[in-house]
Structure formats: structure tokens, C-alpha cells
Amino acid sequence: MLFDSKYELNVLINLAALDHIIEARESRLIHMIGKANQLSAAEIDEMIRRPEPIQGFGVMSNDEKFEHLWYLIRMMKADGHVIRNEIEFCETIAERLGYKKGVVMELSAHIYADIAVPSDTELLRKKAERFIRI
């Protein structure tokens, strides 16, 4: 399972909208994740049109936190250009998930915008574990 709620997909939508436009590649990734979690295209489109403010993340396992961060970084890179606001947004969410914000730059070097290019998720999990705040 990629995400366990609409709320987590909403975070990705907020990131994609930071530069005031959700590009086609970002939209495809949002739709792919939403559909994998049994959301209809209409539900996803409505979420894109009206993103909710971001609150807390509730109780998430370390695996769920990692997956959330992994998809967040992929979304940041999906349109092919990363702006400072997107990096800061990812760092803020990483901190809310319990990571030190340096995890974003560490993982970003190994996560690709193109969904056809696989990442070594086990290696990335190990790298991310070093950034968990105690």
C-alpha cells in the first residue's frame, strides 16, 4: 500500500501546487498514487482543485513515514525543475514525520523524477534511518 489516506495524497498535491501550476507529470503521479489507493479520477481531480491545509500526520509506522517521504521527494522532482520553496516544503514535512531535514537532500540524490527509473528503496530506507530524530 502506498498511502493510507486522502490526507497524505493531499500533501503531495500541496507540494505540486507550490509553484502555482500542477504540470502534467505531477498530475500523472498524483493520479497514479490516488488510483492505487482506490480513489476515483473525479475524487482526485476534486482534491487537486481544492487542496486542504496540512495538519498533523497522526500515527504512522516508520515504513509509512519513509514511503510518504519518498513520494514527496519524487513529486518535488516530477516537473523537472526544483525550486527552493519545494525543498523547504519537503524539509518541513520531513521534520513533521520525525526526520532531520537533511534527509531530503540525502534521498533526493537517489530518487528520480521519471517513474520508469527505479530507485533502490532498501538502500534509501537505510539512508533515511540515519536521519530519524531520537
CATH number of the domain enclosing 64: 1.10.3680
Residue labelled with grid coordinates 520553496: 85
26-61: pLDDT as tens digits: 999 899 889 888 899 999 999 999 998 887 666 778
Q: Output DSSP code: residue 109.
A: T
Q: Which domain, by its residues, includes 89?
A: 6-129
Query: 96: which 3 cell numbers?
Result: 513533521
Domains in the chain, number: 1
95-119: pLDDT as tens digits: 989 999 999 999 998 887 666 667 7
Residue 134 in any domain: the answer is: no
Residue 89 in any domain: the answer is: yes
Query: pTM of the entire structure?
Result: 0.76
Residue 1 in any domain: the answer is: no
CB 2 within 8 A of CB 37: yes
